[in-house]
Amino acid sequence: MENFPVLFYDGYSSTGYEAFLHLSADCWVIHYQDQNQQVQSVNWMLSLVRKVEIIQNITTFRYGSFPQQAIECSNLDFVTLLKTHYPHADFLKSNSLELRGWKNIVIAVLLLIALLATVYIYVIPSAAEFIAGKIPQEIETDIGDSMLNSFTIGSEKDAKLTFYLNLFAGKINFNTSYPIEITVVKSEQVNAFALPGGKIVVNDAILKKINSPEELAGLLSHEAAHIEYKHSLKSISKSLSGYIFISLIFNDINGITTVLIDNANALNNLRYSRSLEADADLRALQTMEKNRISQQGLVSLFTMLDSKDGFNYLKFLSTHPLTEERIRKARKSAQNQKKISEKKDLELIWQQIKNQLDKKSD
């Protein structure tokens, strides 16, 4: 059979020796000169030969147990010729170390991709939400101020309604350390949403649909609850977790703030989960209970929003998903409410709000 030039490793050193491989029916014979220039011959029994890998057209075979000998051959016809002479040899079968090695590599890559996907989808958003919950109130308030400025650049503020709504909110004890500040903007969309740090944005369209001071108190109490629980900051941080994660990697705290501010408009479309809405509902009902405001106002608000059709109402419903369960719990709480007081101060301010709305509709 043919002789092939190979590089031989004796297993005792990393030095490779130029050698010739002679193929015979039952063994391979390797002839080489050692470091003392002495000609040496090594016999490999075919049953102990193992093909390890093919890298850049170099085929590697190993032999025996530790310390393993090895040969490397760069002849492109080498493997083809081996398949011709040894069609049933174990070292050429499909379950060789080479194929198993590639399978292991593919499996490892797939597992790594799955791990990274899991981290990106589940771990990073949860971590971003956790970090958002730990942001000091002073910083959160600054973020809210910047987000409000960014949001209102393209909106028209109603100064008089803003004044009266803040006057109205000042009569309610929201039991929060955040300074509640309301901004009314002109918009045909029936919506209201909370910003981090105590800011609430109310579209004048929703004020036109509200029928009583109790409904308005319910709306503001609900949004104040989102603020107290940091729902808006946590939710937007979760949705922008990828950007925030990159900022954290580079220790760019200012970058986190910039990402939040640049995406202020996202809060207008931010959808709260059912659990967050349930938490806000419960706190809103508690606020109305402590202020002796009829909780029926929140029930009426929900009923009004739930019964309306059309695009204008979809904005509020898409960001504050109403369910029968939410309405049922609010109605049950209102039925069990014992202490309700007439709120003449809220009624007077509410009349001023309605007067302003009537003037604009004339």
Write down the pLDDT at residue 312. Answer: 45
CATH of 3-93, one of 3.40.50.300, 2.30.29.30, 1.20.1250.20, 1.10.3720.10: 2.30.29.30
State the average pLDDT over residues 59-87: 85
Say if residues 326 and 282 touch (Cβ distance below 8 Å): no
| DSSP symbol at 320 | S
Beta bridge partners of 359: none
Query: How many Cβ atoms sit within 10 Å of the Cβ of residue 318?
Result: 12
Q: Which two tokens stand for residue 70?
A: 């090895």
pLDDT single digits (tens) 149-186 = 887 787 899 999 999 999 999 999 999 999 999 999 99
Rounded distance, CA 125 to CA 240, Å? 8
Write down the pLDDT at residue 84. Answer: 84
Write down the pLDDT at residue 135. Answer: 73
State the average pLDDT over residues 259-276: 57
Burial per residue of 40-77, b for 16 or more beta-carbon CB atoms within 10 angstroms, e otherwise: eebebebeebbbbeeeeeebbbbbeeeeebbbebebee
CA triple 304-307-311, angle to 5 deg: 100
pLDDT single digits (tens) 94-147 = 544 445 556 677 777 778 777 766 655 566 556 555 666 567 778 888 888 888
Rounded distance, CA 348 to CA 293, Å? 15
pLDDT band at residue 317 using 50, 70 and 90 as cut-offs: very low
The lowest-confidence range among 33-42, 82-91, 117-126, 286-295 is 117-126
Report whether pLDDT(294) > 70.
Answer: yes
pTM, entire model:
0.60
- Domain locations in the chain as residue ranges: 3-93, 135-361
pLDDT band at residue 64 using 50, 70 and 90 as cut-offs: confident
